[in-house]
Amino acid sequence: MLKFITLILSVFLFQHSLSQTILDQTYLKQTAYDEFSGMKYMNYSIVAYCNDKYLTNWNCGFICTQNPLYDVSVFHDLRYNAQAYVGIDSESNLIVSFRGTQFDSIINWFNDIRFFTTPYIYCDQCKVEKGFYETYQSIQDMLNLVQKFHQNMSINKIIVMGHSLGGAMATIATMDLYYKYNIIINELWTYGSPRAGNDYFHSAFVEIMNKYNISSFRVVNKADPVPHLPPLFFTPTPANLTSNLRSNLRSIFKSPVRFNRHLGLIFNYYHIPQEIWYKTFTDYVVCDTDGEDKSCSDSLLIPLNVANHLDYYGFDRALDLAYCSLQFEK
């Protein structure tokens, strides 16, 4: 626990103090946020935590009763403990939902997160978080089913979503559907999502969203710490790299904060837009369409309320997650 607190405090304090400079600030076209839809797709994101047998039969209690889904297929990988499902809702929308970190291992998620990036080869200089990408790749064959639905059925919309780690995977899947399958989704909804990729990935994402008028909403609940990881770092210019090289070499090992700053020369994580920040359960801010609005959740000095990762829209999801993931076959 001490390791966890030290790491997170170091990251947040440094991140809050930096004056960031990015390569190319790119803005998403404004889309009206509908809170009712946000709650609906949060429910579909939460049930992704359910036991796969109950998901396949769409028998997961109150949420499934209130949000019917048909022709459900579940994809699960034991090695990475990844899960996602695909189904058709009552309005003929194709629902694609990715499970996040299971509720009983959120602290371990913080301790084990790897800030290292790996190339996302489908767009120039794009990189994504290595652990997120590997987890996503373990179940990416599900996109073949999305393609099948897209080709053979009368689909109204394709709506992709996910909570926590599931939000990062949903973001990558949205890009994969475009680059690898030539499929344009209609809406992306993420909740408590960490940063999935670097600034180039962000720019490529925004370009696609704008070109095809795709809606993207990244909902953040109060002081949820997960959206602040991996940390946002400045992008150095060649000039300041050269002028500060000696001092950088002298100071790099003197403090964790300075060391984190130099890790930032490699990572350059940047959130996708558009953030919807809930300051309370009922009071929310529609943030700017860049993705890193300093007047929204980025304004928090030390967002460390892990409970906020589970109580989106004022409902404590811990009980839902426990019911879904721990129920046994009768």
Whether the ω angle into residue 83 lies within 30 degrees of 0, i.e. cis, is no
> Could you give the CA distance from residue 254 to residue 244 in angstroms, rounded to a whole number?
15
> Could you give the CA distance from residue 2 to residue 77 in angstroms, rounded to a whole number?
31
Domain 2-326: which topology? Rossmann fold (3.40.50)
Tokens of 157: 């919309």
> Could you give the CA distance from residue 268 to residue 229 in angstroms, rounded to a whole number?
12
Q: Reduced to 3 states, what is the DSSP secondary structure of residue 75?
A: strand
Tokens of 62: 């109150």
Q: Other CB atoms closer than 10 Å to residue 9's CB: what's the count?
A: 13
Tokens of 121: 């080869």
Q: For the chain, what is the radius of gyration of the CA atoms?
A: 19
Residue 149 has pLDDT above 60, yes or no: yes
Q: What is the mean pLDDT of residues 271-295?
A: 95
Cβ(162)–Cβ(48) below 8 Å: yes
Q: What is the mean pLDDT of residues 100-106?
A: 70
Range name among 160-169, 261-270, 297-306 with the lowest pLDDT average:
261-270
pTM: 0.83
Q: What is the mean pLDDT of residues 182-204?
A: 96
Amino acid 51 reads N
Range name among 66-70, 98-102, 121-125 with the lowest pLDDT average:
98-102
Say what the pLDDT of residue 181 is.
97
Residue 31 has pLDDT above 50, yes or no: yes
∠ CA(136), CA(274), CA(7), 5° rounding? 60
Cβ(169)–Cβ(84) below 8 Å: yes
Q: What is the mean pLDDT of residues 111-139?
A: 88
Cβ(49)–Cβ(102) below 8 Å: yes
Q: What is the mean pLDDT of residues 83-103?
A: 93
pLDDT tier, 1 (very low <50, low <70, confident <90, very high otherwise): very low
Residue 92 has pLDDT above 90, yes or no: yes
Alpha helix locations (H) across 182-295?
A: 199-211, 238-243, 245-251, 256-267
> Could you give the CA distance from residue 166 to residue 80 in angstroms, rounded to a whole number?
13
Burial of 194 (0-12, 13-18, 19+ CB in 10 A): buried
Residue 111 has pLDDT above 50, yes or no: no
Tokens of 321: 């997650």
Amino acid 327 reads Q
Residue 3 has pLDDT above 80, yes or no: no
β 82-89/127-129 pair status: unpaired
Sequence-separated (6 or more) residues with CB below 8 Å from residue 16: 298, 300, 301, 302
